[in-house]
Amino acid sequence: MHVVYRGQTWQVAALQGQQAYLLQEDGTEASLLLGRLFADPGFEVVGGRAPEAVPQWGLFETVPLAAQQRALAWLPHIREVETGWPRPEGSREGQTMRPEYDPERWTLAQRDAAKAQELAALGFARVTRTTVERMRHAYRKQGLWGLVDKRAVPARGRHPTGYADERVVAAVLEGLRRQRGRSKGTVKGLQVLVGQILEDTHGRGVVEMPSRSTFYRLVSVLADPADRPGRPARTATTPARAPSASPVVLRPGEQVQIDTTRLDIMAVLEDGSLGRPELTIAVDVATRSILAAVLRPHSTKAVDAALLLAEMAVPHPARPTWPQSLHLSQAEVPYKRMLSLDERLEGAAARPVVVPETIVVDRGKIYLSQGFVAACETLGVSVQPAPPRRPQAKAVVERTFGSVNDLFCQHVAGHTGANPQRRGSATAAEARWTIPQLQDFLDEWITCGWQNRPHDGLRHPVLPKTALTPNQMWAALITISGYVPVPLTGADYLELLPVRWQPITERGIRLDHRTYNHPVLDPHRSQRSPVAARDGKWEVHHNPHDARQIFVRLTDGRLHEIPWIHRDHVHQPFNDAIWHHIQTEVEQRGDRDQQEADLADALDQLLRRTRHSAGTEQKTNYRKKRRSSSTAAQLPDLPGQRRPLEAETAPAPEPDWSESLDDLIDTAPAAEPGTGDPEGPGTLPAEAGGYGLWDAEAEAEQW
């Protein structure tokens, strides 16, 4: 006979008293006591007779009569396969062993197959050799109770979480606690958070995450109905979107859809208030790639849409803090061949570079403005307005907005949710990120998350069953359509800025109560421009999001940068909205120069105040109550990302603006009598011009 001991099969060579001698086919011998052999957890007699387990009649009587009869009908068949006899020993008088179940002639697998054919002929539904084998193993472990169909057994005192791992249950409860007070997200977003909790608590890969369906059942059992994540059910008053088929496109850039929407995140604006920024994205239909994304604190302007075109056509530079896996050199693209055509791809992020052929937009005024249309004509792009009140014409970009909210926004502090009725009470107190910080987070998520995430709508004819990522689809299509670089320069960027026509006076160029001046204007002061159609005014390009300088086209045909006379006093970029806010706060007094100086000083103080205490007034009480726990969700660990975005512990380090003009003045050494400023000690030396030196590179590192 053969037995299983320590996971290996042995032949019992001899028995002597309480001693057993075991032998393997390779000649290995073992001698041990029978008690030790029987105590082995894996001990089993190979091919032995099934144990006559005592029937669990108490449990057996709780099942329906049909399930009892089915189990009793299986019992003699299992016995016959195991021993060759349908009845137990002692009641076999007058019976003969059927030859097809003789253990001396046929193996156990052959007898299983023979019994499966017999039961199928008797009318047993869906019985195969595997079914017979499974029933035999169940009978060996549990006896008659093992032959009962457990689906017919009524639940008796079963825990609501079933057989789920207790560590997973604890992580789900902790995730629900962290989400309490926040805007309602989706169950998929909660699953990401639970995975992070398990990894932080037990280590990576120690606790296995349950399947998606099991996780959904856990959430439905553990979550309070008021705090349960997920979208609300569609009501009869909510119109359903009509289905629409995606257009058939065969190459990158053949059709690009652009649209703007409010982001579901509460951000800290430049004036210290809270608001939802606007997100404008461009999505390539062929590859589902997000070619460009721009966040603006207020309404998006035509210049933002025009600059979006330039951002699509040039490589995206990878940030210095990004891991090497987010560089284009590590992506699944013919990088060396593309680098030989475009040197700008060296150090670029792993995102597509596409020049659009056709752009589909809605009928918003920014997309039908003269500036945006002129920018498209400059790059050879045709603009196709969508039919009115037909969002189905831009179904790809509309669906992408929903994915951004589900996969990115709900993991960021200050998430508002798409439904105001399900917005959290702590949303305003949780908001901590500024627009530039959110822009950095979004750019990194697009590179490592969206572009490397399989998309169900991306299929290749060679691999129709495999969903490709946007980067993989881009790599597959550029091998056919090719890659043509567009040599856009900084001058092209300036040409896309909005234009105003202003005169050049003796004091410079006046624009929105700001004076811009530079020695390059000296030959043109009080002179008329060659453009007679504009009444002798000069062509001025300005960036509405950074008013610290303008660009004027002089007689040489080039755009020259003209700084604001108070630019050294305001080190941060500011937009028109901030400037108009300052204008309403500062009362006009004295002459025009004094008012402009007061405005510059007030603007500098505002930018400092928002840098250090943006949103702290409305969050102080809330943080005192919950200082022991974090109120912000953490961005998920995205593919290829080695450093987590610190959205759960603390905001990113803020630049220290304390060592600016005022501190330089306060800490400067006192001038000797008769050699310094007549205003006395505490002023800068005269040769410093009253402002000190400003290191642009050191300042940029603090942004």
Token pair recorded at residue 186: 């989706």
The proportion of the chain whose per-residue pLDDT surpasses 70, expressed as a percent, equals 74
Q: Which helix (H) or strand (E) holds 509?
A: strand 509-511
Q: What CATH number is given to the structural domain containing 291?
A: 3.30.420.10
Find the angle CA(414)-CA(419)-CA(420) to the nearest 5 degrees.
70
Look at residue 131 and tell me if it is in a domain. yes
Kindly report the number of other CB atoms within 10 A of residue 77's CB atom. Answer: 22
Res 373: pLDDT:
81
Give the β-pairing of 256-262 and 358-361.
Answer: parallel
Give the mean pLDDT of 319-332.
84
On whether both 433 and 336 belong to a single domain, the answer is yes
| Rg, Å, the chain Cα set | 37
Give the mean pLDDT of 269-273.
77
Among the listed residues 83, 72, 74, 23, the one whose alpha carbon sits nearest the alpha carbon of residue 49: 83
Look at residue 556 and tell me if it is in a domain. yes
On whether both 425 and 336 belong to a single domain, the answer is yes
Residue 661 pLDDT > 50: no
Res 576: pLDDT:
65
Give the mean pLDDT of 12-33.
86
On whether both 535 and 478 belong to a single domain, the answer is no
CB–CB of 494/559 below 8 Å? yes
Residue 679 pLDDT > 50: no
On whether both 389 and 474 belong to a single domain, the answer is yes
Residue with tokens 């057993």: 20
On whether both 358 and 474 belong to a single domain, the answer is yes
Structural domain range at position 121: 57-152
From CA 700, how far away is CA 703, in angstroms rounded?
5
Look at residue 239 and tell me if it is in a domain. no
Overall residue count recorded for the chain in this entry: 703
Q: pLDDT-based confidence at 669, cuts 50/70/90?
A: very low
Res 212: pLDDT:
87
Helix and strand numbers, DSSP H then E, in the chain:
21, 18
Q: What is the 3-state secondary structure (H, E, C) of 433-458?
A: CEHHHHHHHHHHHHHHHHCCCCCCCC
Give the mean pLDDT of 36-45.
83
* 39 vs 589: which has the higher pLDDT: 39
Token pair recorded at residue 83: 């021993």
Residue 585 pLDDT > 70: no
Residue 283 pLDDT > 90: yes
From CA 552, how far away is CA 499, in angstroms rounded?
9
Look at residue 634 and tell me if it is in a domain. no
On whether both 126 and 199 belong to a single domain, the answer is no
Q: pLDDT-based confidence at 47, cuts 50/70/90?
A: low
Residue 501 pLDDT > 70: yes
On whether both 468 and 502 belong to a single domain, the answer is no
Look at residue 524 and tell me if it is in a domain. yes
Res 591: pLDDT:
60
Q: pLDDT-based confidence at 504, cuts 50/70/90?
A: very high
Residue 194 pLDDT > 50: yes
Look at residue 633 and tell me if it is in a domain. no
Q: pLDDT-based confidence at 77, cuts 50/70/90?
A: very high
Res 700: pLDDT:
65
Average per-residue pLDDT in the chain? 77
On whether both 143 and 113 belong to a single domain, the answer is yes
Residue 685 pLDDT > 50: no
- What is the torsion angle, in degrees rounded to the nearest 10, for the CA atoms of residue 580, residue 583, residue 584 and residue 586? 160
Amino acid making up residue 655: P
The proportion of the chain whose per-residue pLDDT surpasses 90, expressed as a percent, equals 8
Give the mean pLDDT of 156-170.
76
Of 130, 152, 174, the domain-final residue: 152
Which residues pair with residue 30 across a beta bridge?
A: 22
DSSP secondary structure, 192-247, as one string: HHHHHHHHHHH-TTTSPPPPHHHHHHHHHHHS-TTT--SPPPPPTTSPPPPP-PPP
Q: pLDDT-based confidence at 237, cuts 50/70/90?
A: very low
Q: Name the most confidently modeled range: 149-158, 177-186, 673-682.
A: 177-186
Residue 437 pLDDT > 50: yes
**What tens digit of pLDDT does each residue of 591-647 get?**
666 766 776 777 667 666 655 544 444 444 444 444 333 333 344 444 334 333 333
Res 676: pLDDT:
42
Res 588: pLDDT:
54
> Does residue 266 sit in helix, strand or coil?
coil
Look at residue 642 and tell me if it is in a domain. no
Res 634: pLDDT:
44
In b/e form, how buried is each residue of 252-272, taking b as 16+ CB within 10 angstroms? bbbbbbbbbbebbbbbbbbbb
Whether the predicted model's global pTM rises above the 0.75 cut: no
Token pair recorded at residue 387: 């039919």
Res 503: pLDDT:
92
Residue 54 pLDDT > 80: no
CB–CB of 555/524 below 8 Å? yes
On whether both 309 and 442 belong to a single domain, the answer is yes
> Based on the structure, what is the number of domains in the chain?
6
Look at residue 649 and tell me if it is in a domain. no
Residue 254 pLDDT > 70: yes
Q: pLDDT-based confidence at 91, cuts 50/70/90?
A: confident
> Does residue 10 sit in helix, strand or coil?
strand
On whether both 298 and 271 belong to a single domain, the answer is yes
On whether both 177 and 273 belong to a single domain, the answer is no
From CA 361, how far away is CA 572, in angstroms rounded?
33
Q: Which helix (H) or strand (E) holds 497?
A: none
Helix ranges (H only) for 349-426 are 370-378, 395-407
Res 231: pLDDT:
60
Give the mean pLDDT of 219-245.
63
CB–CB of 252/284 below 8 Å? yes
Find the angle CA(203)-CA(208)-CA(211) to the nearest 5 degrees.
145
On whether both 460 and 504 belong to a single domain, the answer is no
Residue 683 pLDDT > 50: no
Res 517: pLDDT:
92
**What tens digit of pLDDT does each residue of 448-481 get?**
889 888 988 888 888 888 889 999 898 888 888 8
